[in-house]
């Protein structure tokens, strides 16, 4: 990732206030790395300036600007003492010890935050929290100033764990991230194209690659558009492996279709610009869908996991999220759903794409951005910090 955030261990000046963002940062997944960028964009112009510092649930993150939980970062963790900590993004509340909530609270005991809050946080849906994990969540979130989750699925899951607490849906904060002004040269010369991101989730599922290849061929011919595969994760959990497997299948079906595979590790803003330039986006990765919708691009969302469906529901675009009928729970041996447990094999994407191109409404995105700003300011006020809005307060994306 080419954008580096300032996480030096100096305390805030009178003109700045430090806020710690706890999440699944530091390993190059564009969706995770987009979160602090989006927060900076969301609060741009507010005074005092908010300086976001990121801490991850992992001991040794690849990204040097992210604070880890290992011994090497002990001094930087101490510099977070007394600052509010907002748990944000994916992996926050899960029934396992490695959840961000549990790991980051344990890892900062010696440098306790002044306050904690959930802000656009994911709560794992479609899984079971036994009595032990329910108790752990209740204890961890007892002092939380606010419980703001990122989607409707998270709200429902957290309401089961904390039925007496007030929980509000904010939307995914990456909706607030600004794109780069220009796209890479490898994309700039293309005409009309469909941007596609396929996560390596269903690689071994019978029928998956044949189905998606035929669907992309159908969309390409229907819209007279090239296909460009855009990876959101390269260093770990590499999307390019799935793209490299599906692209030849497309060429076998129809050799006249231009298929492009991006191989570079682009920063989140560049990826957002690529999606903004596309005619249609087909995405498995949650933040492919988030970035595309943020740029008002019609998007077909392939929900391999409840979080994708949760986002679609939150922004009012459920009809463009597939499969339409999903299992009630995640599969025991899979992160999310199995392809064979969905009805995708019988689904034709062309009619759904036509409807998305004609009828997608992005009004809900504007409402969510405004709510994010308002709730952040409210929560900071409860933490003893008053933020003053700039003269022009519209969130620009």
Q: What is the pLDDT of residue 109?
A: 87
Query: Strand 259-261 and strand 321-322: pairing?
Result: unpaired
| CATH architecture of structural domain 185-360 | 3-Layer(aba) Sandwich (3.40)
Q: Where do the domains of the chain lie?
A: 16-177+366-382, 185-360
Which residue in 228, 297, 300, 294 sits closest to 264, CA to CA? 228
Asked whether the domain spanning 185-360 has the same topology as the one spanning 16-177+366-382, the reply is yes
Separate counts of helices (H) and strands (E) for the chain? 13, 12
Helix (H, G, I), strand (E, B) or coil at 125: coil
Q: What is the CATH number of domain 16-177+366-382?
A: 3.40.50.2000
Cα 22 off chain centre by = 14
How far is residue 389's CA from residue 44's CA, in Å, rounded to a whole number?
9
- Burial label, 110 (beta-carbon count in 10 A; 0-12, 13-18, 19+): exposed
Q: Measuring CA to CA, which residue among 254, 192, 200 is closest to residue 228? A: 192
Phi-psi region of 41 (alpha: psi -120 to 50; beta: other; left: phi over 0): alpha
Burial code (b: 16+ CB inside 10 Å, e: under 16) for 43-63 equals: beebeeebbbbbbbbbeebeb
Tracing tokens 């001991």 back to the chain, one arrives at 59
- Rounded CA separation 94/383 (Å): 26
User: Cα–Cα distance between 322 and 212 in angstroms, integer?
Assistant: 12
pLDDT of the residue at 5 = 37
DSSP-derived secondary structure letter, 275: H
- Cα gap 227→262, rounded to integer Å: 11
Tell me the average confidence (pLDDT) per consecutive run of 10 residues in the chain, 397 residues long: 39 78 94 98 97 97 94 96 97 98 94 93 97 98 98 98 98 98 92 97 96 99 98 94 98 98 96 98 98 99 98 98 92 93 95 97 98 98 95 55
Query: What is d(CA 148, CA 313) in angstroms, rounded to the nearest whole number?
Result: 16
Q: Where are the beta strands (DSSP E) in 297-344?
A: 299-302, 321-322
**Run of H or E residues at 91:** strand 85-93
- Unique residue bearing structure tokens 């071994």: 204
Nearest to 170 by CA among 99, 104, 118: 118
Q: Phi and psi for 337 in degrees, rounded to 5?
A: -105, 160
Instruction: Identify the helix (H) or strand (E) that includes residue 18.
Output: strand 16-23
CB 11 within 8 A of CB 341: no
* pTM attached to this predicted model: 0.93
pLDDT score of 13: 55
Which pLDDT belongs to residue 235?
87
Instruction: Find where tokens 């558009």 sit.
Output: 225
372 class by beta-carbon count within 10 Å (0-12 exposed, 13-18 middle, 19+ buried): buried
Q: Note the residue count of the chain.
A: 397
Integer CA distances (angstroms), 323 to 117, 296, 319, 347, in order:
33, 22, 10, 8
Q: Output the pLDDT for position 14.
A: 61
pLDDT given for residue 6 in this prediction: 39
Is the Cα dihedral 110, 113, 116, 119 positive or negative? negative
Peptide bond before 260: cis, by omega within 30 degrees of 0? no
Q: Other C-beta atoms within 10 Å of 78: how many?
A: 12
């Amino acid at each position: 990732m080419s954008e580096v955030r300032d996480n030096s261990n100096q305390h805030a000046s009178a003109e700045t206030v430090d806020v710690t963002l706890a999440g699944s940062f530091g390993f190059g997944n564009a969706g995770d790395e987009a979160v602090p960028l989006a927060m900076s964009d969301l609060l741009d112009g507010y005074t005092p300036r908010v300086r976001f510092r990121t801490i991850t649930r992992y001991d040794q993150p690849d990204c040097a600007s992210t604070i880890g939980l290992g011994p090497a970062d002990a001094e930087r963790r101490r510099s977070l003492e007394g600052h509010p900590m907002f748990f944000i993004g994916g992996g926050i509340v899960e029934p396992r010890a490695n959840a961000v909530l549990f790991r980051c609270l344990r890892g900062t005991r010696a440098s306790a935050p002044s306050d904690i809050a959930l802000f656009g946080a994911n709560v794992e849906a479609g899984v079971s929290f036994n009595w032990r994990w329910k108790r752990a969540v209740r204890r961890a979130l007892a002092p939380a100033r606010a419980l703001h989750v990122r989607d409707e699925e998270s709200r429902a899951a957290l309401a089961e764990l904390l039925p007496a607490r007030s929980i509000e849906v904010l939307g995914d904060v990456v909706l607030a991230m600004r794109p780069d002004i220009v796209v890479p040269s490898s994309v700039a010369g293309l005409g009309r194209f469909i941007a596609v991101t396929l996560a390596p989730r269903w690689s071994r599922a019978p029928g998956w690659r044949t189905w998606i290849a035929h669907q992309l061929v159908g969309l390409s011919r229907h819209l007279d558009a090239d296909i460009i595969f855009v990876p959101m994760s390269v260093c770990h959990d590499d999307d390019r492996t799935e793209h490299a497997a599906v692209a030849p299948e497309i060429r076998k079906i129809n050799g006249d279709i231009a298929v492009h595979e991006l191989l570079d590790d682009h920063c989140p803003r560049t990826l957002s610009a690529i999606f903004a330039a596309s005619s249609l986006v087909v995405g498995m990765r949650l933040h492919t869908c988030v970035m595309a919708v943020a740029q008002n691009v019609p998007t077909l969302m392939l929900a391999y996991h409840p979080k994708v469906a949760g986002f679609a529901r939150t922004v009012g675009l459920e009809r463009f999220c597939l499969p339409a009928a999903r299992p009630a729970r995640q599969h025991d041996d899979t992160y999310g759903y199995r392809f064979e447990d969905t009805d995708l094999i019988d689904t034709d994407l062309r009619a759904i794409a036509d409807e998305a191109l004609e009828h997608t409404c992005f009004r809900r995105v504007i409402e969510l951005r405004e709510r994010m700003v308002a709730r952040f300011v409210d929560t900071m006020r409860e933490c003893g910090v008053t933020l003053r809005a700039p003269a022009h307060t519209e969130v620009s994306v």
